[in-house]
């Protein structure tokens, strides 16, 4: 993972000019049940591979700072609380526009950077869009009866349309977990296909809620079916499950993306979400992604962190890199 820090810093600085999607969207394909049923997952091998990752892929000093700056540009800065207000969302958007203090960026030789997106509930789209106007930062909205996905299907489809109409450029949908648990892959495919159609030009992230799918094989198969149905991203979790993003689940989903790309030529993005709260966590996920998919996936159009507290810890680590001292968390508020 010893990529030149100057290269990473340059790509982080240039992140603001990246379009939402700089590659052709995944158009999907017909459901291939032979491919789906042939997918397996060796749990013990997957766990061994990911358990060894932190010790094998550590980065220090300038390299670590460069990777952490890159990580910031890949964050979907998120607030999904029942007590969200327009004021809170506006403050979060201000943090997305300037995620790191200017003095730290100057000391690191960096120009302005921003996060990958801001993610909110439907009711908060309007203040988020207004606060981010002209910045190039997209607004993502959770949808389709988030987090359980159990509201009537027509309402879930209409919710997508309303969020797109309100200005959301990205829609994070939740799948019906029962389709996975009962092996009804046709139903999952049809559902995802209709969600994709309802999104129109907005790109769609399919939340699998992996902590509720039972097995890694189910995770792999659900990932594949959602990509066949046209998902632009596959995402681990809502952040509301008891188990959210993990490295073993991420390895399974990333390899599904790799297999899909190798067979179809279409790139699909990946978003781990929930429980990723430290700079060390972020570095582990970036190392895994780089190992399995290469540097092309280290861009906001193909990788995002779904996180609310991660940014604060990254900023603390960057301040330590610059000053040699750790600061208190309150020095890096989210808004």
Question: Would you call 172 a catalytic residue per the annotation?
Answer: yes
Question: Of these residues, 172, 232, 281, 313, which one is catalytic?
Answer: 172
Question: Would you call 271 a catalytic residue per the annotation?
Answer: yes
Question: Of these residues, 95, 205, 235, 290, which one is catalytic?
Answer: 235
Question: Of these residues, 70, 205, 271, 290, which one is catalytic?
Answer: 271
Q: What is the 3-state secondary structure (H, E, C) of the chain?
A: CCCCHHHHHHHHHHHHHCCCCCCCCCCCCCCCHHHHHHCCCCHHHHHHHHHCHHHHCCCCHHHHHHHHHHHHCCEEEECCCCCCCHHHHHHHHHHHHCCCCHHHHHHCCCCCCCCCEEEECHHHHHHHHHHHCCCCCCEEEECCCCCCCCCCHHHHHHHHHHHHHHCCCEEEEECCHHHHHCCCHHHHHHHHHHHHHHHCCCEEEEECCHHHCCCHHHHHHHHHHHHHCCCCEEECCCCCCCCCCCHHHHHHHHHHHHHHHHHHCCCCEEECECCCCCHHHHHHHHHHHHHHHCHHHCCCCCECEEECCHHHHHHHHHHHHHHCCCCCHHHCCCC
Q: Cβ neighbours of residue 324 under 8 Å, at least 6 residues apart?
A: none
Residues designated catalytic: 172, 235, 271
């Amino acid at each position: 993972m010893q990529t030149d820090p100057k290269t990473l810093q340059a790509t982080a600085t240039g992140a603001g000019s990246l379009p939402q999607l700089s590659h052709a969207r995944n158009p999907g394909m017909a459901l291939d049940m032979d491919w789906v049923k042939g997918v397996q997952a060796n749990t013990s091998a997957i766990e061994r591979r990911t358990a060894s990752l932190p010790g094998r892929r550590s980065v220090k000093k300038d390299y670590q700072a460069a990777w952490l700056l890159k990580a910031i540009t890949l964050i979907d800065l998120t607030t999904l609380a029942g007590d969200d207000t327009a004021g809170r969302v506006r403050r979060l958007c201000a943090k997305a526009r300037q995620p790191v203090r200017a003095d730290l960026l100057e000391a690191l030789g960096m120009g302005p950077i921003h996060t990958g997106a801001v993610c909110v509930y439907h009711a908060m789209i309007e203040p988020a869009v207004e606060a981010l106007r002209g910045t190039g930062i997209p607004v993502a909205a959770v949808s389709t009866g988030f987090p359980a996905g159990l509201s009537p299907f027509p309402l879930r489809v209409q919710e997508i349309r309303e969020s797109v109409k309100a200005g959301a450029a990205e829609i994070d949908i939740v799948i019906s977990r029962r389709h996975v648990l009962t092996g009804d892959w046709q139903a999952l495919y049809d559902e995802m296909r209709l969600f994709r159609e309802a999104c129109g030009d907005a790109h769609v992230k399919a939340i699998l809620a992996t902590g509720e799918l039972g097995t890694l094989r189910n995770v792999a198969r659900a990932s594949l079916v959602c990509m066949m149905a046209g998902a632009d991203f596959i995402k681990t979790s809502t952040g509301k499950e008891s188990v959210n993003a993990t490295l073993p689940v991420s390895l399974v989903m990333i390899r599904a993306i790799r297999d899909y790309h190798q067979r179809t030529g279409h790139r699909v993005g990946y978003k781990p979400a929930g429980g990723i709260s430290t700079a060390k966590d972020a570095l582990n996920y970036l190392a895994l992604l780089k190992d399995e998919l290469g540097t092309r996936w280290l861009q906001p159009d193909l990788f995002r962190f779904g996180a609310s507290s991660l940014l604060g810890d990254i900023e603390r680590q960057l301040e330590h890199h610059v000053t040699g001292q750790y600061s208190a968390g309150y020095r890096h508020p989210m808004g």
